[in-house]
Amino acid sequence: MQQAYYTSTVADFLTKPVQAVLGHLAEHHPHDLVPLQRNAWIA
């Protein structure tokens, strides 16, 4: 079982577009993606 929805090096994370990280999080999130969760990731 995966323990994180997103893993990366800090250097890679800092160069990724926000939409790419959010897309990865949404893709690996096993539950319904409700606005409250999405907004928590964006904040």
Higher pLDDT, 25 or 1: 25
- Asked whether residue 32 is domain-assigned, the answer is yes
- Asked whether residue 35 is domain-assigned, the answer is yes
Integer Cα distance of 21 and 18 in angstroms = 5
- Asked whether residue 5 is domain-assigned, the answer is no
SS3 labels along the chain: CCCCCCCCCHHHHHHCCHHHHHHHHHHHCCCCCCHHHHHHHHC
Q: What is the pLDDT of residues 4-34, one digit of tens each?
A: 888 999 999 999 998 899 888 888 888 888 8
Query: Is pLDDT above 80 for 2?
Result: no
What's the domain range around 28?
10-42
- Asked whether residue 17 is domain-assigned, the answer is yes
Q: What pLDDT does 1 receive?
A: 60
Integer Cα distance of 9 and 3 in angstroms = 16
For the entire predicted model, the pTM comes to 0.66
Question: Contact at 8 Å (CB) between 23 and 39?
Answer: no
- Asked whether residue 3 is domain-assigned, the answer is no
- Asked whether residue 37 is domain-assigned, the answer is yes
How many separate domains does the chain show? Answer: 1
- Asked whether residue 1 is domain-assigned, the answer is no
